Amino acid sequence: MTSMDATVAAPAAVFSVQRLVRFSDCDPAGMVFYPQYFVMLNALVEDWFTEGLQVHYADFLGARRLGLPMASLQCDFKAPSRMGETIALHLRLLRQGRSSLTLGVQCTGVAPQASLRWSAQAVIVTTSLAHDGPIPLPPDVQQGIARWQQISAGDRP
Amino acid sequence: MTSMDATVAAPAAVFSVQRLVRFSDCDPAGMVFYPQYFVMLNALVEDWFTEGLQVHYADFLGARRLGLPMASLQCDFKAPSRMGETIALHLRLLRQGRSSLTLGVQCTGVAPQASLRWSAQAVIVTTSLAHDGPIPLPPDVQQGIARWQQISAGDRP
Amino acid sequence: MTSMDATVAAPAAVFSVQRLVRFSDCDPAGMVFYPQYFVMLNALVEDWFTEGLQVHYADFLGARRLGLPMASLQCDFKAPSRMGETIALHLRLLRQGRSSLTLGVQCTGVAPQASLRWSAQAVIVTTSLAHDGPIPLPPDVQQGIARWQQISAGDRP
Amino acid sequence: MTSMDATVAAPAAVFSVQRLVRFSDCDPAGMVFYPQYFVMLNALVEDWFTEGLQVHYADFLGARRLGLPMASLQCDFKAPSRMGETIALHLRLLRQGRSSLTLGVQCTGVAPQASLRWSAQAVIVTTSLAHDGPIPLPPDVQQGIARWQQISAGDRP
């Protein structure tokens, strides 16, 4: 295995959450207003950090004064989601850079309406409010990712 | 007991949810931006209908083309809530009118920081999109309230 | 006139803004989702500070590290506002306390549909992030209020 | 010029709006929370339809029961925007398809801090709520685009 390979996440590791589509998420057509999907995406990253990587997100942004801004986002919307549906968001780590993480995210319904709603590729960067710029991925984030990938791999046959 | 008393809810019945204070809820001071509390209050009513009263909220607003607009709202804010905290919202039915429900809502932290954050009194009205005005509380809402109050009473000593 | 009276604002002074009701403000019924009204109310206070009182709101909250949290809010909703309408928000200062301002706010349509949509009474408090508590109204806020009331009075016959 | 070229918009035509970055747009780092940029993008399209194309947006979505969902979105974030800044959003029509419009959008500061904040490419589709699917660009949208491009071209030397 080359050092390049080492930065490529095991594709098996997936972090998923489910969520009710609420009245407040929906637009006059009764469908999720798409900026709300990115509020959900932010919550997904929050939960992935705190629960998946065991890096407390609120401390990361608060006490530690680090940041996780979005650097780029690409999203294809395939089908609408409607008020009252339960949807699932699935996060995979596609690439681990020196100071960035490339995430692949899929939003689906849940059975029996498990169709794809949208899929996105998002690059988030680790920054420091003190330096006002990118910093290398902190060690606890690196270790959290390695542990999460191992555990997720262990979940699967 | 008078017929007037019959419209007063047993104070014991409480519907509660807990919720993480997320990055997206917070303002530049790192505290919940108060309009977000009312988004949470709307979600609380949503869950109370669907889970507490067994009246499916999304059907109520969608397929049945009924509405639950807010008629009046009074809120006292006591202490801020910060990113990363878990807060709880507690709903009590204070008064059941012909076409309105008066709700008492309290938002607290959870132990060990269970202090009161805000308390509100909210009057919601049942309306019909077809009639464009108030309608009497539908029978399933009335029955759901009676059942919820009995079950909640049974929960307590 | 007593010194107590001196803290009561001249009722003539009104700060008003107009605003299009946008798609993003509206719920699945095509009406403004009421928490959005409070986002608009916050923007109204922002503009009143910066334009009406000549106290730069973003500096107040940012560089000066002061705060303007809502202490209490009472709102009566009278009629819905729909996507595509222009609505107006009107702010009056009802009471000037030592460290609080009581605002009366009315939201109306604009002619020919100038009916009242909601009216609110809101108490905002001046705080310091450093002290984590209320502070007396800063001198520039006091002076800004006095000037705004004089100018507004001068506008009228 | 081929008929294919005819569907490519004159690059000169730009629709721009300016907007204050408000408290409610910002996250705990005091910067615009990026989903808010897409709320602004939606407002930009709204204004472009109503003012630029002379196709009333609220009627389009409301009375005419047509839709303008986002089909795909690609966005690169270059620099943050902070509370109190004025930012500008600039829309260009990159491609006019049978039932889609590809928009190029840039968000910048205004002089003297006119740096690029983000740029996006967005594909919106014209749909009908009745058919629940794409429909050809309605004639008034096509005519509005042609007129807007001519007028915009006339604005320039």
Each residue's pLDDT, cut to its tens digit, for chain C (157 residues) gives 333 333 444 457 999 999 999 999 999 989 999 999 999 999 999 999 999 999 999 999 999 999 999 999 999 999 999 999 999 999 999 999 999 999 999 999 998 889 999 999 999 999 998 887 899 999 999 999 999 999 887 665 4
Residue A26, pLDDT > 90, answer: yes
Do residues A48 and A68 lie in contact, with contact meaning Cβ atoms separated by under 8 Å? no
Put simply, the answer to whether C30 touches D57 (Cβ < 8 Å) is no
Do residues B95 and B8 lie in contact, with contact meaning Cβ atoms separated by under 8 Å? yes
Q: Residues B26-36, buried b or exposed e (16+ Cβ, 10 A)?
A: bbbbbbbbbbb
Give the residue on A whose Cα is nearest the Cα of B24: A39
Three-state DSSP state, D25: helix
Mean pLDDT by 10 residues, chain D (157 residues): 40 90 95 98 98 97 94 98 97 97 98 94 94 93 97 66
Structure tokens at B103: 């709700």
List the single residue in B23, B56, B85 with the smallest CB-CB distance to A61.
B23
CA gap B101, B48 in Å, rounded: 12
Question: Mean per-residue pLDDT for B53-61?
Answer: 96
* Chains touching D (3+ CB pairs < 8 Å): A, B, C
> What pLDDT does residue D33 have?
98
> What pLDDT does residue A131 have?
80
The pLDDT tens digits of the residues spanning B75-110 come to 999 999 999 999 999 999 999 999 999 999 999 999
Q: What secondary structure does DSSP assign to chain B, as a single string?
A: --TTGGGSPPTT--EEEEEE--GGGB-TTSBB-HHHHHHHHHHHHHHIIIIIS---HHHHHTTT-EE--EEEEEEEE-S--BTT-EEEEEEEEEEE-SSEEEEEEEEEE-TTS--EEEEEEEEEE-EETTTTEE-PPPHHHHHHHHHHHHHHHHH--
> What pLDDT does residue C156 have?
52
pLDDT > 70: percent of chain B: 90
**Selected residue of C68, C76, C105 to mutate for chain B interface (largest B Cβ count, 10 A):** C76
The pLDDT tens digits of the residues spanning A134-156 come to 999 999 999 999 999 998 876 65
* Chains touching C (3+ CB pairs < 8 Å): A, B, D
List the single residue in C29, C31, C39 with the smallest CB-CB distance to B35.
C39
* Chains touching A (3+ CB pairs < 8 Å): B, C, D
Q: What are phi and psi of C145, to 5 degrees?
A: -65, -45
Q: Residues A97-106, buried b or exposed e (16+ Cβ, 10 A)?
A: eeebbbbbbb
Put simply, the answer to whether C75 touches B71 (Cβ < 8 Å) is no
Give the pairing type, strands C100-109 and C133-134.
unpaired
Measured between CA atoms, how close is C11 to chain A, in angstroms?
36
Do residues C87 and C111 lie in contact, with contact meaning Cβ atoms separated by under 8 Å? no
ipTM: 0.90
CA angle D138/D141/D145 to nearest 5° reads 145
Which of chain A's residues have a Cβ under 8 Å away from the Cβ of C26?
Answer: 27-28
List the single residue in D28, D33, D70 with the smallest CB-CB distance to A77.
D70
CA gap A116, A78 in Å, rounded: 7
